[in-house]
Structure 1
Amino acid sequence: MASPSGTSSGSSLLQNSASEEDRQAVMDQKRQKRMKSNRESARRSRMRKQKHLNDLAAQICQLRKENSQILTSLSLTTQHFFAVETENSVLRTRMMELSSRLQSLDEILNQIDNSSITPWNLMYMNQQPIMALANIFQY
């Protein structure tokens, strides 16, 4: 007793099998697409990381160069500082010497101003020292 439904159930199985294969193919296609997308995403991530590493390496080189320039500038500035410090020390010493001389000259001027200059003192101040001949004391 072959029923028309028997053939339809066979064709239904065949359709189910075909639709199952189609679904499997679609799932495989989606899986392949997802795997390809993941691989591409991983590749982009690796490229970003590599670019970041390259940028950091370039930044290290730049910072080392700047550091070297700063150290050179610091060394020159330190040398200049010590030269100026030495010059200041010399100038302070000279200033103290000149201040001392000025004070001595001021004292001499005060002595002259404070002494009463009279005509008989002027005569004494204008006199030349009397020099004796060297052979005068020989016997």
Structure 2
Amino acid sequence: MASPSGASTGSSCLLNKSGSEEELQALLDQKKRKRMLLNRESARRCRVRKQKRLEDLTTQVGQLRMENSQLLDNHHFITNQHLLVEAENSVLRAQIIELNSRLSSLVGILQYMNMNSSAGDSQMYYY
């Protein structure tokens, strides 16, 4: 003896069950959309950070290239200065050798003159 109200209660239960399934599905869809939005925002922030990092690295590359260029210029300048000093040093060494040779010759001449002068003094005493 099913009463119409009992049948109605059963179908109402089915409707409520379907309604709660729909609500659950809607809730899951809402969570899924929220997760998708959060993932998109996270991906966007990641791309922004990546772009910023790339820009920073590009700036750093430019600065390092400029510094490298300045260091190379400085290296070339110092190398040229070193070559000039080496050349001047070679000239000065050659002058030292020449001056030592002249000094040696002059010392020899003085010794010769002193020996002759001594011998001449001795000869003078004999006269």
**TM bucket, shorter chain:** 0.7 to 0.9
Taking only the aligned residue pairs, the percentage that are identical comes to: 50
Report whether the alignment pairs 1:63 with 2:61: no
Distance in 2, Cα, partners of 1:5 & 1:90: 124
Return the offset for 1:95. Answer: 0.7
- For these two proteins, the number of residue pairs brought into alignment is 121
Q: Deviations over 1:42-89 (max 9, x none)?
A: 101111110111011101100110111011101111110111011111
Please give the alpha-carbon distance, in whole angstroms, between the structure 2 residues aligned to 1:24 and 1:39.
Answer: 22
In the alignment, structure 1 segments of 5+ residues that lack a partner are: 122-139
Structure 2: runs of 5+ lacking an equivalent: none
Q: Which residue of 2 aligns with 1:2?
A: 2
C-alpha deviation, 1:120, in angstroms: 5.0
Which one has the bigger helix percentage?
Answer: 2
Partner of residue 15, structure 1:
16
Q: Which residue of 2 aligns with 1:132?
A: none
Q: Output the amino acid matched with 2:2.
A: A
Q: Counterparts of 2:45 and 2:61 in 1: how far apart (Å)?
A: 24
User: What is the TM-score normalised by the length of structure 2?
Assistant: 0.86
- Partner Cα separation in structure 1 for residue 109 and residue 86 of structure 2: 35
Shift of 1:9: 1.1
Q: Distance in 1 between matches of 2:29 and 2:92?
A: 92
Question: Does residue 112 of the first structure (1) align with residue 113 of the second (2)?
Answer: yes
Matching of residues 62-101 of structure 1 within 5 Å? 62-101=63-102
Could you tell me how far 1:119 is from its partner in structure 2? 6.3
Letter aligned with residue 2 of structure 1: A
Q: Match for residue 127 of structure 1? A: none
| Cα distance in 2, alignment partners of residues 5 and 77 from structure 1 | 105
State how far apart, in whole Å, the 2-side matches of 1:119 and 1:110 are.
Answer: 16
